[in-house]
């Protein structure tokens, strides 16, 4: 749980652009050069040699010396008119032990002479060796462009035969000259639950590039799209190994067209080959849901969907509680967990997320987690966890999946040897500082490929189970992007990309082990990316689309007012079975957030982390800023002052009881976004859920005025309409401000 870190970074496209720029400025300049030649494209048609043109039902893809062009069959998909910029780049670095100096050498397809072969389904370009203009590199590249059903697929490989050099990245296939109009074909990016790009800065000085770093909360899936209402362009990497990559969308400096690129991070030593994962380019007809289903169909063949225990599918969400803080202050000892159950019950929350439960407190002494004698000892903890279950609640114990505190006995004894090392040979470091009056703590990151780190983390799950918890949260494993690890002795080649497929295996092995012990025990993590859908029963939200939103902001989203906005529909629709909580680092949430969580089918959370949070929950005492004087990352005080505690608690419980009463649709049903119905009405958020032949539509009026509306579902019978505060209502009567309504239909069997 790293709120400061989170809220500053997630949802801030400006930061993301700078971040991307820092990482690859020189490379992107070469791949997307300044575009004096732009005008050329207006005079050049798609002159192609027949052998290089791949045709299928959706368009013609042309590969020639100008790059990759696309003439889609439908005008709903943007055309691509290549202009001669590089289509790919290989990055090379010296193969030496750390510290590795300098920046990578970038070799692109420009000024190379490939052999061209016509294949059964397309064209193959073979580069036996590469030149940088001065010298020859014994690096070979093959790219295969072929038809793949309604898509065009690019595969290939890099062959490194250059002694003393390591391939450290590959960018491509790069698309330039995409003639999209964001006003009608916004870009959808897999940032968190999703992001919609309505326009990109036309500041000539800015780097107009936004990247999604996969797999991490900043890049949760391997696809993006220019998505019009009637059709669009899908660009996805179908990489079954979930390799490290950044999917980038870029606005050309002249502002006329857009670019797309996949920047792969991978190592390939001399004498080895690296396979380029398949990249799919596909014009599609229909809404963006068509593109989402295309990705889903591929993904489901790669990641075995997890059978989430019934209790978790029927859980409303959690009360996150930091029992003992980083400074050693105990806010809830083990005997107070019954009181915590009361607080959860008064709000309808089914789970308790127990953070800071171990001797070190929160964000201290990781990865050692012992029941704390000062908080009542192991026996009291066991009895309290038992009581939680007897009261129909579930408990999740915390463990950080990656942090090792530096300077501790564990660090000296084992930790240092397990830590991820950077290319300069020093450990990757993160700092967490919660109180002004105490010193910050510094942490290294455990290498997930190291067997001893796995053993320690598995032992924590086994301990949590033995203590009587219903699950374990490995904090942060859905958050961070992959890292290069230069440490020897971790069981991986040096260097290696870690927090990639090693993270997938790590979590899957733990999940499988625990499932055998107890099929009802769940594994959770913070953040989200689809590579771990096979092992995580529920995510602890900490990504774009899970943070607090107001009714006003929802209206702005509806009217696409911002340059970009969270678009949680994207992941929810692509993977409707995925469970995640929202992120609410405050001991309450307001009406807007309760409605948002319900309408998007997310699970609830509120948090109690500091003494004034506890007083708020137990004594209805609304805190002031001075109460948190020493606290660096305060809860949302303004929000706490907008709604009286009892009112906020009551509405949260009403919404949850409403979901429970309609759990077949709202918890266990399939989220189908805006499919299946037609809306007549303005300023309303409407989302559908399907269970069998039942269709439910949640309508949310986030505004301040009552709203009139109508919904139609062809060939279906209206069953009922209800609201959290009213059991039976007229389906299309006025919807009060800041209210939600569920309308249910029965559809005739197909
Ligand atoms: Zn390592």
List pLDDT tens digits, range 471-518. Answer: 999 999 999 999 999 999 999 999 999 999 999 999 999 999 999 999
Ligand 1 centroid to 522 CA: how many Å? 27
Ligand 1 centre distance from Cα of residue 441 (Å)? 22
Q: What is the mean pLDDT of residues 175-193?
A: 97
Alpha carbons 606 and 614: distance in angstroms, whole number:
12
**pLDDT for 305:** 84
Question: What is Dmax (Cα atoms) for the chain?
Answer: 79
Q: How many angstroms separate the alpha carbon of residue 448 from the centre of ligand 1? A: 7
Distance 543 CA to ligand 1 centre (A): 26
Q: 464-479 burial, b for 16+ CB within 10 Å, e for fewer?
A: bbebbbbbbbbbbbbb
310-400+451-479+504-660 topology per CATH? TIM Barrel (3.20.20)
User: What's the 455 CA to ligand 1 centre distance in angstroms?
Assistant: 15
371-375, long-range: CB within 8 Å, 24+ apart, which pairs? 371/334, 371/467, 372/324, 374/330, 374/333, 375/323, 375/324, 375/330, 375/333, 375/334
φ, ψ at 436 (rounded to 5°): -60, -30
327-363: string of b/e by CB count within 10 Å (b at 16+)? eeebbbbbebbeebbebbeebbbbbbbbbbbbbbbbb
Q: How confident is the model at residue 435 (pLDDT cuts 50, 70, 90)?
A: very high
Residue 24 has pLDDT above 90, yes or no: no
Distance 403 CA to ligand 1 centre (A): 14
21-24: list long-range contacts, CB under 8 Å, 24+ apart.
21/207, 21/209, 23/246, 24/246, 24/263
Å from CA of 397 to ligand 1 middle: 26
pLDDT confidence of residue 204: 66
CB 610 within 8 A of CB 619: no
How many angstroms is it from 417 CA to the middle of ligand 1? 9
Three-state DSSP state, 477: strand
Whole-number Å distance, alpha carbon 654 to ligand 1 midpoint, is 48
Q: How far is the CA of 97 from the centre of ligand 1 (A)?
A: 13
Residue with tokens 């004034």: 612
Which DSSP symbol is given to 427? B
Q: How many contiguous H segments (helices) and E segments (strands) does the chain have?
A: 18, 41
492 CA from centroid of ligand 1 (Å): 7
> Measured in angstroms, how far is the CA atom of residue 459 from the centroid of ligand 1?
20
Q: How many CB atoms lie within 10 A of CB 47?
A: 9
Contact 722, 728 (CB under 8 A): yes
Q: What is the distance in A from the centroid of ligand 1 to the CA of 208?
A: 34
d(C-alpha 109, C-alpha 361), whole Å: 54
- Asked if residue 740 lies in contact with residue 699, where contact means CB atoms within 8 angstroms, the answer is yes
Which residue, among 374, 361, 540, has the nearest Cα to 434 in the 3D structure?
A: 361
For residue 485, report the distance from its CA to the centre of ligand 1, in Å.
5
The Å distance, Cα 447 to ligand 1 centre, comes to 5
Cα separation, 501 vs 242, whole angstroms? 6
Kindly tell me if the per-residue pLDDT of 335 is higher than 60.
yes
pLDDT at 648 over 60: yes
Question: How, if at all, do strands 430-432 and 483-485 pair?
Answer: unpaired
Of the candidate CATH numbers 1.25.40, 2.60.40, 3.40.190, 1.10.10, the domain formed by 664-747 belongs to 2.60.40
Q: What is the CA radius of gyration of the chain?
A: 27
d(CA 360, CA 92): 44
Q: Distances in Å between the alpha carbon of 46 and those of 72, 83, 121, 254?
A: 12, 11, 20, 21
Q: What's the CA dihedral at 471, 481, 584, 193 to 10 degrees?
A: -100
Distance 402 CA to ligand 1 centre (A): 12
Please report, in angstroms and rounded to a whole number, the separation of the first and last CA atoms in the chain. Answer: 46
Sequence-distant (≥ 6) Cβ neighbours of residue 342 within 8 angstroms: none
Contacts 24+ apart (CB under 8 A), 614-617: 614/331, 614/332, 616/587, 616/588, 616/640, 616/645, 617/343, 617/587, 617/645
Q: Specify the CATH class of 3-37+51-300 in words.
A: mainly beta
Q: Kindly give the distance from the C-alpha atom of residue 483 to the centroid of ligand 1, in angstroms, as a whole number.
A: 9
Going from the Cα of 438 to the center of ligand 1, the distance in angstroms, rounded, reads 31
Residue whose C-alpha is closest to residue 536's, from 432, 461, 444: 461
Q: Which two tokens stand for residue 304?
A: 């075995």
Q: In the chain, which residues fall in CATH 2.70.98? A: 3-37+51-300
Q: 463: CA distance to ligand 1 center in Å?
A: 25
Kindly report, as residue ranges, where domains of CATH 3.20.20.80 are found in the chain. Answer: 310-400+451-479+504-660
pLDDT above 80 for 263: yes
**pLDDT score, position 750:** 56
Does 37 have pLDDT greater than 70? no
Distance of CA 629 to the CA centre of its chain: 33
Residue-level pLDDT at 82: 94
Q: What is the Å distance from ligand 1's center to 484 Cα?
A: 8
The rounded distance, in Å, linking the Cα atoms of 606 and 587 is 5
The pTM score is 0.93
pLDDT grade for 201, boundaries at 50, 70 and 90:
confident
pLDDT, tens only, 81-105 = 999 999 999 999 999 999 998 899 9
Strand-pairing partners, residue 263, are 171, 246
- Helices 337-347 and 645-661: crossing angle in degrees, nearest 10, is 70
Distance 655 CA to ligand 1 centre (A): 46
Tokens of 266: 């991978």
pLDDT of residue 207: 59
User: What is the per-residue burial (b if ≥16 Cβ within 10 Å, else e) of 59-80?
Assistant: bbbbbbebbbbbbbeeebbbbb
Q: What phi, psi does 255 have (nearest 5°)?
A: 80, 15
Is the model more confident about 127 or about 255?
127
CA 420–ligand 1 middle distance (angstroms): 5
Give distance in angstroms: CA of 353 to centre of ligand 1: 30
Distance 444 CA to ligand 1 centre (A): 12
Average pLDDT over every residue of 401-411: 98
d(CA 245, CA 635): 34
Cα gap 297→301, rounded to integer Å = 7
Q: CATH 2.60.40 spans which residues of the chain?
A: 664-747
Q: What's the CA angle centered on 398, arms 395 and 401, to 5 degrees?
A: 140
Q: Tell me how far the alpha carbon of residue 248 lies from the centroid of ligand 1, in angstroms.
A: 27
Residue 747: CB atoms within 10 Å: 16
* Greater model confidence, 20 or 499: 499
Measure Cα distances from 321 to 340, 356, 521, 655 in Å: 8, 8, 20, 22
CA 497 to centroid of ligand 1, rounded, Å? 8
Ligand 1 center to 215 CA (angstroms):
17
Gap from CA of 446 to ligand 1 centroid (Å):
8
Please give the sequence-ordered ranges of beta strands (E in DSSP) within 204-244, or none if there are none: 209-214, 223-227, 231-237
Asked if omega into 99 is within 30° of 0 (cis), the reply is yes
pLDDT band, residue 206 (cuts 50/70/90): low
* Cross-strand bridge partners of residue 148: 151
* Spacing, Cα 490 to ligand 1 middle (Å): 5
Give the three-class secondary structure for 191: coil
Q: Using CA atoms, how far apart are residues 527 and 542, in angstroms rounded to an integer?
A: 5
What pLDDT shows up at residue 738?
Answer: 98
Query: What is the Cα–Cα distance from 653 to 655, expressed in whole angstroms?
Result: 5
Q: What is the pLDDT of residue 205?
A: 63
pLDDT digits (tens, 9 = 90+) for 141-157: 999 999 999 999 999 99
Predicted local distance difference test score (pLDDT) of residue 7: 24
Residue 30's CB is within 10 A of a number of other CB atoms, namely: 16
Residue with tokens 């000062």: 374
Q: Is the pLDDT of residue 328 over 90?
A: yes
Q: What proportion of the chain, given as a percentage, has pLDDT over 90?
A: 89
Task: Reply yes or no on whether the pLDDT at 324 is more than 50.
Answer: yes
| DSSP assigned state of 215 | S
């Amino acid at each position: 749980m790293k709120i400061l870190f989170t809220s500053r970074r997630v949802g801030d496209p400006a930061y993301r652009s700078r971040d991307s720029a820092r990482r690859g400025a020189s490379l992107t300049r070469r791949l997307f050069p300044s575009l004096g030649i732009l005008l050329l494209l207006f005079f050049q048609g798609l002159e192609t040699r027949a052998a290089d043109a791949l045709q299928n039902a959706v368009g013609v893809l042309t590969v020639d010396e100008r790059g990759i062009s696309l003439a889609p069959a439908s005008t709903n998909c943007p055309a691509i008119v290549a202009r001669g910029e590089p289509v790919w780049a290989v990055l090379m670095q010296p193969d030496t032990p750390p510290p590795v100096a300098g920046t990578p050498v970038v070799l692109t397809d420009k000024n190379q002479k490939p052999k061209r072969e016509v294949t059964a389904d397309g064209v193959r370009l073979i580069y036996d060796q590469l030149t940088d203009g001065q010298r020859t590199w014994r690096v070979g590249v093959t790219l295969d462009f072929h038809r793949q059903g309604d898509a065009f697929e690019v595969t290939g490989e890099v062959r490194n035969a250059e002694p003393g050099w390591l391939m450290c990245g590959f960018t491509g296939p790069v698309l330039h000259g995409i003639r999209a109009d964001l006003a009608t074909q916004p870009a959808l990016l897999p940032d968190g639950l999703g992001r919609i790009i309505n326009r990109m800065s036309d500041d000539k000085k800015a780097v107009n590039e936004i990247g999604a770093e996969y797999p991490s909360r900043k890049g949760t899936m391997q696809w993006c799209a220019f998505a019009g209402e009637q059709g669009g362009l899908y660009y996805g990497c179908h990489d079954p190994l979930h390799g490290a990559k950044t999917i980038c969308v870029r606005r050309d400096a002249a502002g006329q067209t857009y670019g797309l690129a996949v920047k792969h991070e991978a190592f390939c030593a001399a004498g080895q080959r690296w396979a380029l994962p398949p990249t799919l380019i596909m014009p599609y007809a229909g809404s963006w849901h068509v593109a989402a289903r295309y990705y889903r169909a591929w993904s489901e063949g790669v990641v075995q969907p997890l059978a989430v225990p019934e209790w978790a599918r029927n859980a409303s969400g959690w009360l996150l509680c930091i029992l003992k803080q980083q400074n050693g202050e105990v806010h809830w000892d083990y005997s107070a967990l019954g009181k915590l159950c009361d607080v959860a019950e008064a709000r309808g929350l089914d789970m308790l997320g127990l953070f800071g439960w171990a001797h070190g407190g929160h964000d201290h002494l990781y990865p050692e987690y012992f029941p704390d004698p000062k908080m009542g000892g192991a026996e009291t903890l066991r009895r309290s966890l038992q009581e939680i279950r007897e009261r129909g609640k579930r408990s999740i114990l915390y463990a950080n999946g990656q942090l090792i505190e530096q300077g501790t006995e564990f660090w000296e004894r084992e930790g240092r040897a397990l830590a991820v090392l950077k290319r300069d040979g020093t450990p990757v470091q993160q700092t967490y500082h919660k109180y002004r009056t105490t010193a910050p703590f510094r942490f290294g990151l455990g290498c997930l490929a190291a067997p001893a780190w796995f053993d320690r983390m598995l032992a924590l799950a086994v301990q949590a189970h033995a203590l009587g918890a219903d699950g374990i949260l490995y904090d942060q494993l859905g958050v961070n992007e992959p890292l290069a690890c230069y440490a020897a002795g971790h069981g991986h080649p040096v260097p290696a990309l870690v927090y990639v497929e090693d993270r997938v295996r790590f979590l899957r092995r733990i999940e499988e082990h625990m499932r055998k012990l107890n099929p009802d025990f769940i594994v959770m993590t913070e953040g989200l990316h689809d590579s771990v859908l096979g092992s995580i029963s529920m995510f602890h939200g900490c990504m774009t689309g899970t943070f607090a939103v107001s009714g006003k902001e929802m209206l702005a989203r509806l009217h696409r007012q911002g340059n970009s906005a969270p678009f949680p529909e994207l992941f929810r629709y692509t993977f409707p079975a995925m469970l995640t909580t929202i992120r609410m680092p405050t001991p309450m949430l307001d009406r807007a957030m309760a409605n948002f969580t319900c309408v998007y089918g997310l699970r609830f959370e509120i948090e109690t982390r500091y003494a004034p949070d506890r007083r708020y929950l137990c004594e209805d005492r609304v805190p002031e800023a001075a109460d948190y004087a020493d606290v660096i990352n305060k809860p949302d005080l303004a929000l706490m002052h907008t709604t009286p505690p009892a009112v906020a608690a009551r509405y949260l419980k009403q919404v949850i009881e409403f979901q429970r009463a309609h759990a077949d649709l709202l918890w266990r049903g399939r989220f189908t976004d805006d499919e299946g119905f037609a809306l007549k009405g303005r300023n309303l958020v409407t989302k559908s859920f399907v269970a069998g032949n039942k269709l439910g539509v949640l309508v949310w009026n986030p505004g301040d005025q009552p709203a009139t509306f109508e919904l139609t579902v062809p060939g279906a019978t209206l069953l009922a309409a209800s609201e959290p505060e009213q059991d039976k209502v007229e389906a299309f009567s006025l919807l009060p401000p800041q209210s939600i309504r569920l309308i249910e239909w029965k559809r005739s069997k197909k």
